[in-house]
Structure 1
């Protein structure tokens, strides 16, 4: 490769990320700055970048279809030019026309294959559940070497990609992750330079990737159609992932009985406690060991003011309805025990408790413990069926995926279930205030370190937090954590932060869907909430 072609390759790879980063800094879209280096990444990270922007930022079917054509053609042309410039000098290069046709085809194929996973990324930003984010990244790593071959090799669909191709594409993932983290750390316009350097790294990786594709050391299974099988499995994986995510998100809760339900409270705890289970939890009516502790029921109270058993489906109701049921339960428990009330919520249960504090008079509630709350939920949107609006195509793609995934499941999940729609409707509140203090209420959030990937870089909480290595829903039930809960309920200070939390938060920045700016959505624009996506801060007035 001549020096001139190398300079042109690196310049072309650096310029688009710098342009996107300049725009993001200019419009103050703080939470999306880490995405810019992906504009010139190798396949399929580039298409994953395009589709996440498109699925969030379209407000009708017409704009979606037009945007789909534009980004597909632009991606094919840009990739063709990068491929041409990266082509090794010692190998005859196909004609420019062949490269354009081939890369347009790859761009269209990548759109079909990557789109379901990009839609999962939108779902992640809607409900702030890290399992959706992690599920959407695995296929990128698997598909990268196959699609890298597709743009340069006529028979790309046969044979296994070489170890070199796997290695260079995995290195690009690492570079993009680190670049997103560095951009999230760099203040002001300095991020434009970081994006440019990341683009230069992309150019060098295009050079290595194209060389590894056209000059493979050895292709294993040269006659076997490996790529089509991998692509079909990837598409099917997007559907089956729904069931796995549902199981992981609920922690396999079922009859969820943490120690606070099975053991008596120490006398030094002055509260009566209501324990609010998470999404898809259930309760068979077995009472807690301590009469001062009760399970919240998503179906309400019986004629004697006692919570009734509930099935998993009951947790799918709206947060406002659950908060109203919680208010009745708080009043009944306080009347019976004459004690102040503490709320302990897990995942969705945390959201119910926080909604109750916001929407209704807090009454006798004096303490709230939130386990695995959904951090900055409501960052994306899609309208209900029969309506157009921001994210309409993403909504229908999610409905199709969930419909297929629900076929074998006894408890159906639905992207339009009242719980999800209540988060989408009141997104300004859940995005900005879920971890904000409430006057007269002692609060603490127990955050598993995995939740670091759920929040965009920046401030995420103004209440005390206790951070511990764990997955979503995996803290409550540990003896050390249970002791901290009892100590908090007894009036002690138990907050604890971990140094790696902010690092993990920044490392996840490159792979989140861009948030929809609050002021763009008519449903949200009349609120008085500030937008953390633009300010990098929470609990701020507009």
Structure 2
């Protein structure tokens, strides 16, 4: 039987120790939401730098701290990669000296950090708004760049020519290993996370061995004169620029307004209903077919009590100011109809309705239905412009710069400091722990697309009935089943459905979430004594 080579054993050991150390720290502090990240410490480029930057973007509170942390990460990554590449180098080929490898990998560590930083930044933004398409915008470039960057430490010149097909295959396997390892690290109980992270590190070591072998021993580089890597970088940069406009132009299908406002409600629905549409919606002032139904207006009410027409720009407001408008509209509708009031909100409308119940509840409101609420939003933070320090300070400024570039290329015209986003940031403890919790005297239900499972760390996320169904954010109402269940719930029939694949999707997404900012350490949050699901793994816990 062939004995393992000593260098391969050393490679696996070097790749296993850092993930195990991170796992020990996470388990020790009870940081369950971040346990899925530990396996990425020694992942093959660019996923290792993607891991580092997400931690840094969340956990710094000043420019000097960010810059020092960035420098330390670049040096650490350069040293670690030098060791991994040296041990993974094939015996059939002459290996450069360690000094050359160290210089090469320190320089490449800085280059890869710069290249990966926009997508690590977008990953943090995804943890603020809890939208799957934002997370997708941070991952797609990783797929594209990985085969090009994984040969950078060994091939000269690394920026020209196409990577070999075998390297593309190992790159895809690398992504699968990271995803599965993240799910396993989160799934196992307690200290079992540490050996699982170590095993994932060993798998990383084997992947380093294979990718270095393929890169070094490939006899011929295709398109050797073409600057393929810079072209791939430009294409990758186009992903976050392209997704926001695409989201705006993709048809949304049946809207909540069409389902509820365009028909009379059945006689067994005894409520007056206010429909709260989502971000960038519009209302032309057309009265609903049913006189007991109203469209919530982001501009408020006219003098005669009718909801005012509004444009998409009017939805750019804070949840607190929207709750004040809703308070007035609820009171007028209840006095006009004499009926109890049900609120039906989608996306931003769902968040607004839940904020209203927390801040300005009316005794007449006894039913809330939420479509595509932003589960566990506000997991990161950055202070408003002009604030000299605060968690995520540099993250905020880089996001402002990134959104400015996106707007130049036809973006949405909104930014990371728009009032709705600031509401999520400033009141994050509530949205992380209480959004999906019961309100006394109110029947509540949430319709969730399966993509919601990938938008937040795994764990218990709801204390109210949910109806899970395949779909994307804001795209559920085109199904007759969902429409029927909505009407049944309004008529008083309990509804609930959980899909078996939902927890699995949560776990598979665990490794790609940015680490949440611990609630208790952020002085900007007034309610920072709120229990933190990032550590408890549960929501709706009493303070």
Q: TM-score range by the shorter chain?
A: over 0.9
Picking from 140, 145, 148, the partner of 2:147 is 145
Counterpart in 1 of 2:298? Answer: 298
1:308-323 matches, cutoff 5 A: 308-323=308-323
- Is 1:498 the counterpart of 2:492? The answer is no
Alignment pair present for 1:517 and 2:518: yes
Q: Is the 1:277–1:296 contact (alpha carbons within 8 Å) kept by the matching residues of 2? A: yes
Whether the 8 Å CA contact 1:399–1:415 is kept in 2: the answer is yes
Preserved CA contact (<8 Å) 1:432 1:530:
yes
CA deviation map 1:116-135 (0-9, x unaligned) = 11111111111111111111
1:257 and 1:493 mapped to 2: Cα distance? 23
Q: State the SS of the aligned residue for 1:197.
A: helix
3-state SS of the aligned residue for 2:437?
coil
Residue in 1 that maps onto 2:63: 61
Structure 2: distance between partners of 1:255 and 1:484: 15
Distance 1:200 1:463 in 2: 41
Contact 2:318–2:422 (CA under 8 A) maintained in structure 1: yes
**Equivalent residue in structure 1 for 2:181, among 179, 182, 204:** 179
CA contact (8 A) 1:152 1:213 kept: yes
Q: What are structure 2's unaligned runs of at least 5 residues?
A: none
Deviation, 1:508, is 0.4
TM-score by length of 2: 0.97
Q: Which SS does the other structure have where 1:342 is aligned? A: strand
Aligned-residue offset at 1:238: 3.0
Distance apart, 1:252 and its partner CA:
4.7
- Summarize deviations over 1:381-408 as a string: whole Å, max 9, x none: 0011111211111111110111121235
Q: 5 Å matches for 1:521-540?
A: 521-524=522-525, 526-540=527-541
Please provide the CA RMSD for this pair: 1.6
Q: Which residue of 1 aligns with 2:356?
A: 356
Alignment-derived partner of residue 420 in structure 2: 419
Conserved? CA contact 1:258–1:476, under 8 Å:
no
Shift in Å, 1:257: 3.3
Structure 1 equivalent of residue 283 of structure 2: 283
The number of residues matched between the two structures is 540
* CA distance in 1 between partners of 2:179 and 2:378 (Å): 23
Alpha-carbon deviation of 1:474? 0.7
Contact 1:254–1:282 (Cα < 8 Å) also in 2 = no
Aligned to 2:342: 342
In the other structure, the counterpart of 2:110 is: 108
> 1:498-520, CA deviations, whole angstroms, 9 ceiling, x for partnerless residues?
00000001100000000000111
Tell me the residue number matched to 1:330.
Answer: 330
Aligned-partner Cα distance in 2 for 1:399–1:252: 27
Distance in 2 separating the partners of 1:329 and 1:399: 35
Per-residue deviation, 1:231: 1.2
| Structure 1 residue corresponding to 2:195, chosen from 182, 193, 196 | 193
2:294 partner SS: strand
- Output the CA distance in 1 between the equivalents of 2:43 and 2:494: 46
Q: Give matches, 1:194-209, under 5 Å.
A: 194-209=196-211
- Per-residue displacement from partner, 1:485-541 (whole Å, max 9, x unpaired)? 000001111210000000001100000000000111101265441000010000112
Number of the residue aligned with 2:75: 73
- Work out the CA distance in 2 between the residues paired with 1:496 and 1:400: 42
Q: Say if 1:253 and 1:113 are closer, same or farther in 2 by CA, change over 3 A.
A: farther
1:255 and 1:281 in contact (8 A); partners too = no
What is the alpha-carbon distance in structure 2 between the residues aligned to residue 270 and residue 256 of structure 1? 19
TM-score (norm 1): 0.97
Alignment of 1:224-243 (within 5 A): 224-243=226-245
Contact 1:56–1:391 under 8 Å retained in 2: yes
1:282–1:312 Cα contact (<8 Å) kept? yes
Could you tell me how far 1:89 is from its partner in structure 2?
Answer: 0.3
**C-alpha distance 256-368 of structure 1, shift in aligned 2 (>3 A):** closer
What secondary structure is seen at the aligned counterpart in 1 of 2:265?
coil
Unaligned runs of 5+ in 1: none
**Is this contact kept in 1: 2:274–2:296, CA < 8 A?**
yes
CA contact (8 A) 2:140 2:239 kept: no
Alignment partner, residue 97 of structure 1: 99
Deviation at 1:245, TM superposition (A): 4.8
Alpha carbons 1:14, 1:200 under 8 Å: kept = yes
Q: What does the per-residue CA deviation read over 1:30-51, in whole Å, with 9 as the maximum and x for residues that have no partner?
A: 1000000000000000000000
Distance 1:244 1:252 in 2: 11
Give the Cα separation in 2 of the matches to 1:476 and 1:256: 7
Aligned partners of 2:23 and 2:38 also within 8 Å: yes
Q: Distance in 2 between matches of 1:247 and 1:128?
A: 20
Does structure 1 conserve the Cα–Cα contact (< 8 Å) formed by 2:78 and 2:108?
yes
CA distance in 2, matches of 1:472, 1:540: 27
Q: Check conservation: 2:74, 2:113, Cα contact below 8 A.
A: yes
Residues 402-441 of structure 1: pairs in structure 2 closer than 5 A:
402-409=403-410, 412-441=413-442
